[in-house]
Structure 1
Amino acid sequence: MTATLNPDKLRERRRRRRLTQQGLAAAAGLSVSIISKWERGLVSEPHFGTVDRVAEVLKVKPKDLML
């Protein structure tokens, strides 16, 4: 399954945690490239499991990153 990610919410939550794209990518086990694409709105439908990992790193609920 996929989720529709909100790029602005992702960027805002990442910055609140004082993480760089590199830091978020490393902590979530993802590439910097995919974090960058999500934040620019180039890719907006990651798998739920991926959203869960990012949400866990950002200490938010997955729904807080969705449209």
Structure 2
Amino acid sequence: MIKYTLVCDSAHTFEGWFRNSDDFEAQVGRKLVLCPTCGTANVKKGLMAPAVSTSRKREAISSAM
């Protein structure tokens, strides 16, 4: 599963979960992805920060267990 940050043409942001990028594109193409705030189907992917695992994060998780 992939979590995307989505943005509608009115600049409302929300999240959506999809099996893969093709699934997202297919649903947007069929106008199945709607903004929960205004209901528009004019939705695109927003900017997303990558989930990066650093050695410091791994060390903190390991020491917490």
- With the length of structure 2 as denominator, give the TM-score of the two structures: 0.27
- With the length of structure 1 as denominator, give the TM-score of the two structures: 0.27
Rg (Cα) greater in structure: 2
Q: Flag the structure with more relative contact order, 1 or 2, with Cα contacts below 8 A and sequence separation at least 6.
A: 1
